[in-house]
Amino acid sequence: MMNPKNNKTGCLIVVSGPSGTGKSTIVNSVLDTCKELSFSVSATTRPQREGETEGVDYYFVTKEQFQQMIDNNELLEHAEYVGNFYGTPRKAVLDKIDNGLNILLDIEVQGAEQIKRQYPEAVTMFVVPPSWEELERRLINRGTDSMEKIQARLKQAKSEIEKIENYDYIIVNDVLETAISEVISIIATQDYKYDKRINDLTEAYSL
């Protein structure tokens, strides 16, 4: 059988949802399990948090550097979120997809919308806690932000949840392990789709 990577494009998988839903925890665990999955590291102007690594969690850049990336059309999507900027480097993502790799993006809701407009074939998941009360509780208990920032996040979360209908899948993050395994299943099944598998069969069946 020929190398299928030469014949098919990879899948762009987007995990999004309001802040405080646990989407980054889910994404990190999925990446630990699915070694063949590529992760796109975002650029951001927000301050580095404790435990975060440059080039692994984010590329931490200044506002000036970020503006330069926008001006040079180096970002596939970018968005402002509670005063900070976030963006996905374009070339890294497109090169991997062209080489048949599946890529996972962990991005804010605004950015996910831009991706879906540009790539309707992107598979998008929206992560939410089981209820609004639970989301409030998680944002308040996070403890890394001032009350003012929490209020801003709550307000933003409310408007973001109204965008849920634009997503292909909903992941209810109640039991973390369940949420993780659901995301893994959704990613796995993308490779079983007709478009992904037909190339491998063309030769075997003289189609």
Site string for a copy of itself, 172-201 (x = CB under 8 A): x---------x--xx-xx--xxx--xx-xx
Residues between 72 and 131 with contacts to a copy of itself, criterion CB under 8 A: 125-126, 128, 130-131
Nearer to a copy of itself, 86 or 167 (CB): 167
Residue 54 binds a copy of itself (CB under 8 A): no
- Name all contacts of 185-192 with Cβ < 8 Å and 24+ positions apart: 186/13, 186/123, 186/125, 187/11, 187/13, 187/30, 187/34, 187/37, 187/102, 187/104, 187/123, 188/34, 190/11, 190/13, 190/102, 190/123, 191/11, 191/102
Nearest distance from residue 82's CB to a copy of itself, in Å? 21
Nearest distance from residue 191's CB to a copy of itself, in Å? 9
Q: How many residues bind a copy of itself (CB under 8 A)?
A: 32
Contact present, 87 and 42 (Cβ < 8 Å):
yes
Q: Which of 65, 98, 59, 63 is nearest to 80 (CA)?
A: 63
Binding site for a copy of itself (CB under 8 A): 125-126, 128, 130-132, 161-162, 164-165, 167-172, 182, 185-186, 188-189, 192-194, 197-198, 200-201, 204-207
